[in-house]
Amino acid sequence: MITSLDARTGAVVAEVAEETSEDEVGALCRRAGEVAPEMEALGRGGRAKMLSAMAATLEARRTEIVETADRETALGEARLGGELTRTCFQLRFMGEVITDGAYLEATIDHAGGTAMGPRPDLRRVLRPLGPVAVFGASNFPLAFSVPGGDTASALAAGCPVLAKVHPAHPATAVLCAEALMEGASAAGVDLPVISLVFGDTAGIQLVGHAAVKAVGFTGSLSGGRHLFELASRRPSPIPFYGELGALNAVVVAPGAAARRAEEIASGMAGSFSLGVGQFCTKPGLLLLPAGEVGERLSDALAEAVRPLQAGRMLSERIADAYGTGSEGLRSQPGVRVLAGGGAQGDGSGWWGAPLLLEATGASLDGPLAEECFGPVLVVVRYQGSAHLSQLLESLRPALTATLHAELPDDEAISRSVVEITSAKAGRLVWDGYPTGVAVAWAMHHGGPYPATTDPLHTSVGAAAVRRWLRPVCYQNFPQAMLPPELRDDPGRDNAVVRRVDGKLVLP
């Protein structure tokens, strides 16, 4: 039985659902496969209308959804209210992304002579893959779960969604799914565009089912890697887009440390402790220059951390992992505690206290090179540009890399940092903090493994829709048999940006 817990007490509040059986998983997957052509047939306008209506029904049930999510996660109604606003925004945003049709990459090469000889008529467009499995995240019960970005982009692409419910917030998942389906119905779409799957065994069966054509996952490295290997071992392997998290580094160049020590210290304290450190983009490593300027910033950071209070974590499992991981860091040779946050609250629920450590060794390996999910930050001093480059080269890839610098004083060291980190991270941040991922056209939320299983794609932003599409080329097809966007006269409703005989043509 899947139960809903009160994150502030650990008590069972309700029984939400039975675990989904293998037969039920199969039936849901087969039905999604049947629905897929109808989803595509809705067209861009129909799907955009559906996404907007889904956002409206989520907003209409805001109070109930936020209260339930707060009970299950203890994230607070203010934080969750903002997350619901983001969730609704990204649903509408994905509708905007598909409206002009540029995402289809419609391309036409008319038949004719070339330097290589005669060419047939060739027309290429992106089409939906089919049913998509989405695994929700523990730390974002709305924006990265059942109604989240993977769901929004998959539906926009024309793919039905089979959502594996996260055990940390099952009641929230059910409410959100109900709201999404209400929105679909209000938009005239009476199809099971979203189905829920409960239980870890059912999730494994979901990844293995032949009807599922791709998977979106946000979670741990171990869990994601296991599912990735299952997806790869299928008789017909499928794309597995796993966001697995990583150790996100922040570099402070000497000029920035000298001029903005207190400002950077305050920002870093807020960033690594935000949401009790339970963000995949949380900075986990701070690289400071050795000497007086670095010492001053380190002291200011310790002062900023000491008043911070412990916060409730999302689940007992996450809190236990944070306790084990932070203790493992503290026990490493050359590691000392610079500052710690307040006490562990009232004793109920699961708690994590901010922790600031310093590692004095010459290299980064073992636990020091791995993500610890929770409010811990490790400070390391670098002895000049060459040592900094050595440290950065030793790190595994990550979702983000951040640089604080003052130009022109720090230009040389900045160029070196950018060159190294651009090969290791999906998003580079200048004079800011990596926590917070904007839903925008230019956003990239991804990175080389282990940050994600596919560095070519993003799970946030307009390009997220590209994961759920595949190219199809039509050779010498009659006009009536072509997708409307590829016809010589697509009509007003299907006119999109196209590349025709090598030239970009606007509708």
In 204-349, DSSP assigns E strands to 214-218, 240-243, 248-252, 283-289, 311-312, 335-340
d(C-alpha 16, C-alpha 22), whole Å? 18
Distances (CA, A) of 382 to 85, 189, 257, 421, 504: 41, 58, 13, 16, 49
Distances (CA, A) of 357 to 302, 377, 380, 495: 9, 6, 9, 57
Q: For Cα atoms 478, 483, 489, give the angle at the middle one, nearest 5 degrees.
A: 70
Separation of CA 282 from chain center: 13
Separation of CA 80 from chain center: 17
CB-based burial of residue 186 (10 Å sphere; 0-12 exposed, 13-18 middle, 19+ buried)? Answer: middle
83 counts as catalytic:
no
Which one is catalytic: 243, 358, 371, 485? 243
Task: Give Cβ neighbours of residue 496 (< 8 Å, ≥ 6 apart).
Answer: 100, 101, 102, 104, 106, 485, 490, 507
Question: Running DSSP on this structure, what letter comes out for residue 440?
Answer: S
Separation of CA 340 from chain center: 29
Contact 150, 459 (CB under 8 A): yes
243 counts as catalytic:
yes
Contact 162, 132 (CB under 8 A): yes
Contact 235, 56 (CB under 8 A): no
Tracing tokens 């139960």 back to the chain, one arrives at 3
Which one is catalytic: 88, 280, 371, 372? 280
Contact 169, 74 (CB under 8 A): no
d(C-alpha 263, C-alpha 270), whole Å? 11
Task: Give Cβ neighbours of residue 494 (< 8 Å, ≥ 6 apart).
Answer: 43, 101, 484, 485, 487
Separation of CA 412 from chain center: 33
Give the per-residue SS3 of 102-143: HHHCCEEECCEEECCEEECCEEEEEEECCCEEEECCCCCCCC
Contact 194, 86 (CB under 8 A): no
Q: CA nearest 318: which of 71, 29, 7?
A: 7
Active-site annotation, residues: 243, 280
